[in-house]
């Protein structure tokens, strides 16, 4: 079961899309898993032959536990697969869908310091994908017992809305606890970009028109070329920059919350393709059908509040990322151009950065680079 | 094509982007952007749906005229009349 973000502890298998004996290629969608982020299409990380299915439809599987065995190309017959009984039983080779290498943080299945639980209770909690931190212990001194774990696992599942809200809360609490945020905001003259886009859109029928948010995404991605310390992950106590620029795009899901899946390699996508990618991503975020890689690998997030919102957003970093860029609503304001006051449409661009990796001086230069790129929209 | 037909097409286009839309509760003469939570991508998809259904030109500068149901019906019927399709 891959981790689809720092806030995920387990997923429920909805269906297998491949059967034993099928050949699978890295990137193939082989299963659908239900999480608090909706039904997610799980991509396989290894090429080979699907040997054994371990997880059954309807089964809840903790992050990091095996769901199936895959025999890699050129490998002999796989060892007999047994259903996992604990995290220790997790085999390392031939696991169909390990958490992708690199930036992901797998939430600990054992209790952190401060939570008292018997070894049997911890083992059972891992098997049942129950978070011991959320269990009230009834044992001696408030210790969590095996019965407490089983009681908690049997409790009715929270509604999807509550589950998403809880997951957002858990990720944001972790962010505020662990990441020393600093904040900057810069007002950008968006008039040149908007005028250019209006001229371009006037030449195109509605299906080919581009939203200004696409220009904002492209400008951020291009600016990241020069400011690498905002693009990557904080893992194992140090910063790992990412060569590729996968922008997580915050998408509102009605009243239930929000989700920030990635558009991959935004810096290399021409504007029309980036618009298509955004349209497709928004549709799948709301309707279902996001893929596991889109949830697990954003290297930085961009949140754009859009029309009828607020002037400036002070966003919270989504761990293990180290920065988030926010855009407020476009406002018409008196602006000084060549010594004269003129009406201009402007937008507030804000940055929350991780002080373990960068500081406000570099952050300010990064925002200036975004502003500069938006003055020449035809070059984006 | 009558105003009633156009109204149906407009409401269908809007429910396409806002499935939770309660048509009975919608105030037709007021901007629906104040009544339901839709973003710029939703609005563009609504315009695309109208464009596909009626095959009329809808320049971006006219978008504000489409933000209420009554406004959209008046605008689209005028566009259709101009194109000889009404």
B16–chain A nearest CA distance, Å: 12
Residues A269 and A139 placed together within one structural domain of the fold:
no
All domains of chain B, ordered by start, with CATH? 3-18+26-82 (1.10.1200.10)
Residues A246 and A372 in one domain: yes
- pLDDT higher for A40 or A161? A40
According to the model, what pLDDT value does residue B75 have? 96
Indicate if A140 and A38 belong to the same structural domain. Answer: no
Contacts of range A14-23, beta carbons closer than 8 Å, 24 or more positions apart: A14/A39, A14/A57, A15/A57, A16/A53, A16/A57, A16/A68, A18/A50, A19/A50, A19/A53, A20/A50, A20/A51, A20/A52, A20/A53, A21/A49, A21/A50, A22/A49, A22/A50, A23/A48, A23/A49, A23/A50
CB contact under 8 A, B60 and A209: yes
| B44/A211 Cβ within 8 A | yes
Is pLDDT above 60 for A89?
A: no
Does the CB of B19 have a partner CB in chain A at under 8 Å?
Answer: no
Instruction: Report the C-alpha dihedral over residues A110, A116, A117, A118, rounded to 10 degrees.
Output: 110
Put simply, the answer to whether A252 touches B47 (Cβ < 8 Å) is: no
Residues of B in contact with A254 (CB under 8 A): 20, 37
Closest residue of chain A to B50, computed from CA coordinates: A206
Q: How far is A31 from chain B (nearest CA, A)?
A: 27
A296 within some domain: yes
- A224 and A289 together in one domain: yes
More confident of the two residues A101 and B79: B79
Q: Do A249 and A343 reside in the same domain of the chain?
A: yes
CATH number of the domain that residue A330 is part of: 3.30.559.10
CB contact under 8 A, A205 and B40: no
Any A CB within 8 A of B37 CB: yes
pLDDT attached to residue A156: 65
Residue A4 domain-assigned (yes or no): no
Instruction: Tell me, yes or no, if the pTM score tops 0.90.
Output: no
**Secondary structure (3-state) at A184:** strand
Whether residue A198 and residue B37 make contact (CB cut-off 8 A), yes or no, is no
Q: How many domains does chain A have?
A: 3
Whether residue A218 is found in the same domain as residue A321: yes
**Looking at the domain assignment, is residue A3 inside a domain?**
no
Q: Which residue of B has its CA nearest to A309?
A: B39
Q: Are residues A34 and A148 in the same domain?
A: no
Closest chain A CA to residue B35: A308
Q: Residue A128: inside a domain, yes or no?
A: yes
Q: Which residues of chain A make contact with B31, given a CB cutoff of 8 A?
A: none
Q: Within this chain, do residues A77 and A216 fall inside the same structural domain, yes or no?
A: no
Residues of B in contact with A215 (CB under 8 A): none
Q: Is A315 within 8 Å of A350 (Cβ atoms)?
A: yes
Of B39, B45, B51, the CB nearest to A205: B51
pLDDT in tens, A172-203: 999 999 999 999 999 999 999 999 999 999 99
Q: Is residue A101 part of a domain?
A: no
Q: How much is the mean pLDDT over chain A?
A: 86
Residues A367, A248, single domain; the answer is: yes
Instruction: Let me know if residue A105 belongs to a domain.
Output: no
Q: Is the pLDDT of residue A103 over 60?
A: no
pLDDT tens digits, A208-266: 999 999 999 999 999 999 999 999 999 999 999 999 999 999 998 877 788 999 999 99
Name the residue range of residue A139's domain: 119-157
On the question of pLDDT at A80 being above 70, the answer is no
Quote ipTM for the complex: 0.92
Indicate if A217 and A354 belong to the same structural domain: yes
- Chain A environment of B51 (Cβ under 8 Å): 205-207
Q: Choose one of A89, A108, A130: the last residue of a domain.
A: A89
Residue at which a domain ends, from A89, A108, A141: A89
A170 inside domain: yes
A112: in domain: no
Q: Determine whether the interchain pair A206/B61 forms a contact, defined as Cβ–Cβ distance below 8 Å.
A: no
Contact B33 A308 (CB under 8 A): yes
Nearest to A214 by CA among A151, A121, A279: A279
Nearest CA in chain A to B36: A254
> Is the domain of A134 the same as that of A168?
no
Whether residues A172 and A29 fall in one domain: no
**What are the φ/ψ torsions at residue A255 (nearest 5 degrees)?**
-85, -15
């Amino acid at each position: 079961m891959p981790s689809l973000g720092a806030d995920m502890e387990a997923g429920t298998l909805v269906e297998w899309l491949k059967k034993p004996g099928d050949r699978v290629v890295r990137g193939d969608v082989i299963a659908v898993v239900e999480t608090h982020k909706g039904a997610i299409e799980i991509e396989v990380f290894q090429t080979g032959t699907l040997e054994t299915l371990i997880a059954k439809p309807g089964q809840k599987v903790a992050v990091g536990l095996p769901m199936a065995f895959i025999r890699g190309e050129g490998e002999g017959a796989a060892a007999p697969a047994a259903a996992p009984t604990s995290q220790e039983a997790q085999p390392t080779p031939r696991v169909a869908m390990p958490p992708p290498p690199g930036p992901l943080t797998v939430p600990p299945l054992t209790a952190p310091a401060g939570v008292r639980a018997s070894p049997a209770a911890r083992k059972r909690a891992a098997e049942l994908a129950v978070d011991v931190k959320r269990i009230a212990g009834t044992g001696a001194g408030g210790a969590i017992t095996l019965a407490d774990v089983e009681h908690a696992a049997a409790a009715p599942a929270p509604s999807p809305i509550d589950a998403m809200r809880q997951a957002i809360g858990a990720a944001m609490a972790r962010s505020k606890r662990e990441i020393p945020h600093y904040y900057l905001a810069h007002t950008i003259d968006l008039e040149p970009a908007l005028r250019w886009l209006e001229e371009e859109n006037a030449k195109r029928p509605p299906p080919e028109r581009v939203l200004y948010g696409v220009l904002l995404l492209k400008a951020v991605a291009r600016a990241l070329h020069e400011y690498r310390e905002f693009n990557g992950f904080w893992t194992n106590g140090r910063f790992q920059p990412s060569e590729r620029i996968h922008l997580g795009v915050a998408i509102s899901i009605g009243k239930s919350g929000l989700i920030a899946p990635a558009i991959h390699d935004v810096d290399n996508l021409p504007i029309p393709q980036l618009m298509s990618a955004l349209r497709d991503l928004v549709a799948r975020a709301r309707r279902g059908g996001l893929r596991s890689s889109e949830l697990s690998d954003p290297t930085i997030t961009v949140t754009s509040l859009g029309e009828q919102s607020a002037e400036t957003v002070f966003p919270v970093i989504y761990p293990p990322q180290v920065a988030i860029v926010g855009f407020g609503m476009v406002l018409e304001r008196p602006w000084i151009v060549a010594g004269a006051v003129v009406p201009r449409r402007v937008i507030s661009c804000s940055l929350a950065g991780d002080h373990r990796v960068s500081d406000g001086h570099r952050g300010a230069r990064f925002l200036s680079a975004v502003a500069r790129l938006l003055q020449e929209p035809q070059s984006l | 094509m009558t105003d009633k037909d156009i109204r149906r097409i407009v409401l269908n286009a809007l429910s396409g982007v806002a499935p939770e839309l309660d048509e009975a509760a919608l105030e037709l003469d007021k901007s629906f952007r104040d009544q339901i939570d839709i973003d710029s991508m939703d609005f563009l998809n609504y315009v695309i749906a109208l464009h596909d259904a009626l095959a009329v030109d809808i320049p971006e500068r006219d978008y504000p005229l489409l933000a209420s149901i009554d406004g959209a019906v008046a605008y689209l019927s005028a566009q259709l009349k101009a194109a000889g399709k009404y």
